[in-house]
């Protein structure tokens, strides 16, 4: 349809409406005009009478309680790694071919246990040769002693003093030769014994690095022998860590004041409780100038040899004395950008976020170092549903520590030397 036809159609419709209106009576025309006015009046009347609108939602119900105050013991937290209390690299003392391996890789071996056998035949032959040399030296000594005794009897008759002196020197030389031959026998016997490589300590052995049939280099005469395997003593095991200068001074002054030796408790990455116990036995003789820390070591009992060198662990070192601390449920702590806050309800039903400084988690409760008072009413449940500026309905509650079996997971591992508190 073109524009002209549309215009004609529009004119036709308007003409039709005009004929209809003209055909109406005067009363019908008045009714037609009054209808929209009546509708507008009805709408205005409804608005003036306050027609019902959508009801506002009820206030959120939250549970509030005052912080729990408990006496807690002071601890210092560290992170470190386990190390073997003894570690030995097993190397041969003599060179030769490996003809036997007598252990299982990764097993526990005992001191003196046979580990490797080196072909002993060359060393047995050398020992036999040394023993034969001893017999020859003994014969030479016997002849020298006989000649010297004869010369003494004939001295002054047929033997001069110079001959007697020469024969005495011959006897002494034969005695020295016999002693040297005996020493060679002992050396060759040691070489034969060194063909059996035995465990120098009790511990868990690594894998064999040399299989039978390979030649190995002995470690005698200043040469470095071929590495055969390693053995680590794991019971007890060491736990080494670095402490800051401040905490080192704190521990040192506590010892000087007569405090008992600090207890050591350690937990692994997948453990919630500090199940490993030990004691401090070593403090390094100086602080690291670059980091300002000092190396310390604890001895931990490991009868099942579960702990392995290289394992990472979190350790806490007890300090003297206890102190009161405020605790709230860890779930009540919220994150507001870079700070930690808890919601505090006032008497008028308002809720205010309060910045706090956190401590460790104890029995599922978070220690609040600062930011709260004992009179504050902390929102411990329902705080996630509270909108900014909204009023809430308050329901009283109570903060109680959780049993260890259902306590919340521990907080991330602290940095070296971070002080924490732990409940009694």
Q: Where are the alpha helices (DSSP H) in 239-303?
A: 245-256
Q: Where are the domains of the chain?
A: 3-48, 59-86+241-424, 87-231
Q: pLDDT averaged over the chain? A: 80
Cis? peptide before 236, omega within 30° of 0:
yes
Confidence of residue 3 (pLDDT cuts 50, 70, 90): very low
Q: What is the pLDDT of residue 415?
A: 43
pLDDT over threshold 60, residue 309: yes
Region 218-239: mean pLDDT is 88
pLDDT, tens digit, 9 for 90 and up, residues 390-410: 787 788 888 887 765 444 444
Q: What is the pLDDT of residue 422?
A: 44
Q: What is the pLDDT of residue 120?
A: 95
Region 163-167: mean pLDDT is 85
Q: What is the pLDDT of residue 381?
A: 85
pLDDT over threshold 80, residue 320: no
pLDDT over threshold 60, residue 167: yes
pLDDT over threshold 50, residue 77: yes
Region 16-43: mean pLDDT is 54
**Sign of the alpha-carbon torsion through 92, 98, 100, 103:** positive
Answer with the residue of higher pLDDT: 197 or 78: 197
Region 333-359: mean pLDDT is 85
Rounded Cα gap, residues 59 and 392, in angstroms: 5
Specify the CATH architecture of the domain 59-86+241-424: Beta Barrel (2.40)
Specify the CATH architecture of the domain 87-231: Beta Barrel (2.40)
The proportion of the chain whose per-residue pLDDT surpasses 90, expressed as a percent, equals 36
**Sign of the alpha-carbon torsion through 400, 401, 406, 410:** positive
CATH fold match for the domains 59-86+241-424 and 87-231? no
Region 151-173: mean pLDDT is 83
- CA 75-78-80 angle, 5° bins: 150
User: Among 6-20, 65-79, 117-131, 304-318, which range has the highest average pLDDT?
Assistant: 117-131
Q: What is the pLDDT of residue 54?
A: 52
Task: Give the Cβ contact number of residue 26 at 10 Å.
Answer: 7
Place of tokens 């939602």: 57
Region 323-349: mean pLDDT is 85
Tokens of 266: 């350690």
Q: What is the pLDDT of residue 83?
A: 95
Region 17-36: mean pLDDT is 53
pLDDT over threshold 80, residue 303: yes
pLDDT, tens digit, 9 for 90 and up, residues 259-299: 666 778 899 988 888 889 998 888 888 888 888 889 999 99
Tokens of 223: 């040469």
pLDDT over threshold 90, residue 324: no
Confidence of residue 376 (pLDDT cuts 50, 70, 90): confident
Region 337-344: mean pLDDT is 87
Rounded Cα gap, residues 220 and 188, in angstroms: 13
């Amino acid at each position: 349809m073109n524009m002209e036809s549309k215009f004609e159609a529009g004119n036709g419709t308007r003409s039709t409406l005009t004929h209809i209106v003209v055909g109406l009576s005067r009363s019908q025309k008045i009714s037609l005009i009054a209808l929209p006015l009546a509708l507008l009046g009805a709408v205005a009347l409804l608005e003036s009478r306050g027609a019902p609108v959508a009801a506002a939602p009820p206030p959120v119900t939250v549970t509030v309680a005052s912080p729990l105050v408990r006496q807690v013991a002071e601890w210092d937290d560290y992170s470190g790694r386990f190390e073997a209390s003894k570690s030995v690299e097993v190397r041969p003392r003599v060179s030769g071919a490996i003809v036997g391996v007598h252990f299982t890789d990764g097993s526990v071996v005992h001191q003196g246990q046979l580990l490797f056998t080196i072909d002993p035949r060359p060393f047995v032959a050398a020992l036999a040769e040394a023993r034969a040399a001893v017999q020859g030296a003994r014969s030479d000594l016997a002849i020298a002693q006989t000649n010297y005794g004869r010369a003494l009897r004939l001295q002054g008759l047929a033997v001069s003093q110079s001959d007697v002196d020469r024969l005495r020197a011959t006897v002494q030389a034969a005695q020295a030769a016999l002693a040297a031959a005996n020493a060679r026998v002992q050396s060759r016997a040691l070489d034969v014994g060194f063909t059996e490589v035995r465990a120098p300590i009790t511990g868990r052995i690594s894998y064999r690095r040399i299989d039978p049939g390979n030649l190995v280099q002995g470690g005698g005469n200043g040469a470095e022998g071929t590495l055969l395997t390693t053995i680590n003593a794991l019971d007890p095991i060491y736990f080494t860590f670095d402490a800051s200068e401040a905490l080192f001074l704190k521990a040192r002054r506590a010892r000087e004041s007569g405090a008992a030796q600090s207890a050591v408790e350690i937990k692994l990455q997948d453990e919630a409780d500090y199940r490993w116990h030990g004691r401090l036995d070593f403090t390094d003789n100086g602080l690291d100038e670059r980091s300002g820390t000092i190396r310390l070591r604890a001895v931990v009992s490991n009868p099942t040899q579960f702990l392995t060198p290289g394992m990472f662990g979190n350790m806490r070192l007890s300090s003297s004395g206890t102190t009161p601390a405020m605790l709230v449920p860890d779930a009540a702590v919220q994150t507001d950008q870079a700070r930690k806050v808890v919601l505090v309800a006032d008497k008028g039903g308002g809720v205010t976020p309060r910045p706090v400084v956190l401590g460790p988690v104890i029995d599922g409760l978070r220690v609040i170092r600062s930011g709260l008072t004992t009179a504050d009413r902390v929102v411990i449940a329902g705080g996630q549903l509270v909108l900014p500026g909204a009023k809430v309905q308050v329901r009283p509650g109570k903060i109680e520590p959780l049993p260890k079996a259902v306590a919340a997971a521990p907080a991330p591992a602290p940095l070296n030397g971070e002080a924490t508190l732990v409940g009694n």
